[in-house]
């Protein structure tokens, strides 16, 4: 890479930009070798779910131009599908094919979005037709305009959109005949080297898979010890495994698996986030402007999606940040995890960090939208435990929920490396999680499926959280009574997402500057 700037002469923020840009260029160069080592269509992500979710959740219709844009995107689906199919063919030539049983889940997603009118004679509209119609009806367009657009969207759905879905489903049938059910990427050409790269890329560290596996085992043992303290607090007489079973089946922790239970869960989440919002000034002095809204995961993708996730606000502020809660199966959403989950995905977790980064207009765009998984997910996991210091988890069972979330991420270190490095089967990974966590069986299977298609990603949470805790402890020890937690948080959040080594350098520089100032 040609270097045109004298780094030492740059201002502090410009030096961070320099270092980050250099790191990203080096990462892109390293990633080129592995550009085909992924699954473009899988049960977590892909054209079959991404475009419908975008249309429903982010594509507004307030005038004729926006209605036309919506229809044009549907018409373009066939072209996009063709490009995805070609990328799948390129991978198949290398033997990189989604496990057979997961191909079926992607096919099911495609079938879900082409169910209902105008694709069949069912009484209900398909998800996209219903979305378009609902949005169109709220506009001030004339009835004749609305009627014309309804005809156009029907044509688009039955044309380019349906054709794109059918082409993808047809090719997935071909792939099924070539696929097997081996879970790990060790099966890829040079798969062990790829996984070592994936772990480095996701954690932004030099940790090896074996080191991460061992760290996971140690963290699991530590958190199990903390959970036993909760057992004592609630006077439970039995083993940790028996306590896990109680938490899986005790009806007091689960709302009804119907519309009443789902609404009650969403209402509790909103109260929790409103309470957290009021307490944020005790720990922070910078806050995002973007609104955070809570929404259930759409029905067409709920069965295969994760239990909760966050959608960033649009850069122009017209679309809020969205905390998606998967309420497809209420038996997989225990209320004792509700607080910690909301803090991770919402505030002070992902929304606090990602929305703030987008709004830092004094930083270059590549920094405002930088994505370093171990920083982002590490912050989300750190936010869960920070809530304890803010007065949450007063009920011992809610404390158990926070520990359960931390345990889940620690187990990910073990399971992700187990699948992709130690050649565990899917069944072995499921059994490890069943034995070591209180999570329900349905969630465990979905989680293992996720780790299979996103190698290395699950290792980023705990590694990032441990680094943030380490840096906080270092700063507190060196600065003593002059350490201010809000100032530390603002520093960590106030520069956008960073690789962990750059974050560590930033914190060390801050500590040194404060110590120099205080010594004068």
Model confidence pLDDT, tens digit, residues 349-373: 999 999 999 999 999 999 999 999 9
pLDDT at 456: 97
pLDDT at 8: 82
Q: Which H or E run includes 443?
A: helix 441-453
Model confidence pLDDT, tens digit, residues 235-251: 999 999 999 999 999 99
pLDDT at 307: 84
In Å, what is the CA distance from 399 to each residue of 223, 225, 385, 390, 403?
A: 12, 13, 10, 13, 6
Judged by DSSP in three states, 409 sits in helix
Judged by DSSP in three states, 422 sits in coil
**CA–CA separation, 97 vs 431, rounded Å?**
25
For residue 170, with 0-12 CB atoms within 10 Å meaning exposed, 13-18 middle and 19 or more buried, which class applies?
exposed
Q: Which contacts of 509-518 are long-range, i.e. CB under 8 A and separated by 24 or more positions?
A: 509/12, 510/475, 511/474, 511/475, 511/478, 511/479, 514/479, 514/482, 515/478, 515/479, 518/479, 518/482
Residues in the chain: 520
Mention every residue, 6+ apart, whose C-beta is less than 8 A from residue 380: 344, 345, 349, 350, 353, 461
**CA–CA separation, 267 vs 292, rounded Å?**
14
**CA–CA separation, 52 vs 305, rounded Å?**
14
Mention every residue, 6+ apart, whose C-beta is less than 8 A from residue 7: 15, 18, 19
From first to last of its 520 residues, what are the pLDDT tens digits of the chain? 556 778 888 888 899 999 999 999 999 999 999 999 999 999 989 999 999 989 998 899 999 999 999 999 999 999 999 999 999 999 999 999 999 999 999 999 999 999 999 999 877 899 999 999 999 999 999 999 999 999 999 999 999 999 999 999 999 999 999 999 999 999 999 999 999 999 999 999 999 999 999 999 999 999 999 999 999 999 999 999 999 999 999 999 999 999 999 999 999 999 999 999 999 999 999 999 999 999 999 887 887 677 899 999 988 888 899 999 999 999 889 999 999 999 999 999 999 999 999 999 999 999 999 999 999 999 999 999 999 999 999 999 999 999 999 999 999 999 999 999 999 999 999 999 999 999 888 889 989 999 999 999 999 999 999 999 999 999 999 999 999 999 999 999 999 999 999 999 999 999 999 988 777 6
Residue 455 in contact with residue 96, Cβ under 8 Å?
no
């Amino acid at each position: 890479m040609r270097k045109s700037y004298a780094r030492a002469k740059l201002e502090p923020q410009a030096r961070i930009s320099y270092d980050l840009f250099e790191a990203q260029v080096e990462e892109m160069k390293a990633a080129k070798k592995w550009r085909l080592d992924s699954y473009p269509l899988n049960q977590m992500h892909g054209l079959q779910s991404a475009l419908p979710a975008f249309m429903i959740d982010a594509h507004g219709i307030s005038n004729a131009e926006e209605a036309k844009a919506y229809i044009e995107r549907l018409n373009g689906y066939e072209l996009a599908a063709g490009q995805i199919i070609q990328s799948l063919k390129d991978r198949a030539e290398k033997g990189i094919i989604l496990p057979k049983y997961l191909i079926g889940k992607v096919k099911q997603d495609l079938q879900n979005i082409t169910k209902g009118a105008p694709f069949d004679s069912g009484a209900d509209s398909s998800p996209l037709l219903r979305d378009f119609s609902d949005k169109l009806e709220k506009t001030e367009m004339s009835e004749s305009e609305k009627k014309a657009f309804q005809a156009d969207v029907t044509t688009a759905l039955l044309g380019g959109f349906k054709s794109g879905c059918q082409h993808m489903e047809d090719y997935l049938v071909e792939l099924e005949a070539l696929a097997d059910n081996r879970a790990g990427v060790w099966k890829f050409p040079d798969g062990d080297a790829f996984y070592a790269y994936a772990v480095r890329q996701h954690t932004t560290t030099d940790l090896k898979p074996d080191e991460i596996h061992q760290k996971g085992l140690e963290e699991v043992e530590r958190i199990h010890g903390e959970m036993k303290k909760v057992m004592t607090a609630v006077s439970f007489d039995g083993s940790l495994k028996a306590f896990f079973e109680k938490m899986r089946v005790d009806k007091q922790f689960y709302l009804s698996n119907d519309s009443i239970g789902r609404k009650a869960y969403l209402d509790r989440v909103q109260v929790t986030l409103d309470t957290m919002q009021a307490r944020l000034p005790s720990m922070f002095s910078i806050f995002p402007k973007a609104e955070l809204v809570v929404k259930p995961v759409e029905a067409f993708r709920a069965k295969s999606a994760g239990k909760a996730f966050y959608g960033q606000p649009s850069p122009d502020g017209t679309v809020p940040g969205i905390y998606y809660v998967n309420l497809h199966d209420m038996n997989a959403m225990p209320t004792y995890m509700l607080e910690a989950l909301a803090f991770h995905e919402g505030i002070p977790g992902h929304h606090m960090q990602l929305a703030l980064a987008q709004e830092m207009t004094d930083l270059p765009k590549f920094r405002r939208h930088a994505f370093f998984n171990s920083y982002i997910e590490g912050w989300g996991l750190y936010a869960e435990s920070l809530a304890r210091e803010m007065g949450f988890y007063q009920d011992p069972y809610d404390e158990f929920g926070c520990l359960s979330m931390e345990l889940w991420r620690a187990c990910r270190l073990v399971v992700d490396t187990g699948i992709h490095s130690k050649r565990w089967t899917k069944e072995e990974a499921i059994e490890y999680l069943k034995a070591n966590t209180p999570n329900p069986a349905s969630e465990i299977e979905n989680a293992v499926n996720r780790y299979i298609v996103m190698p290395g990603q699950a290792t980023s949470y705990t590694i990032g959280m441990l680094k943030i805790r380490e840096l906080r402890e270092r700063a507190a020890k060196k600065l003593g009574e002059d350490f201010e937690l809000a100032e530390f948080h603002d520093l960590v959040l106030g520069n956008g997402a960073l690789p962990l080594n750059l974050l560590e350098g930033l914190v060390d520089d801050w500590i040194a500057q404060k110590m120099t100032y205080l010594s004068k």
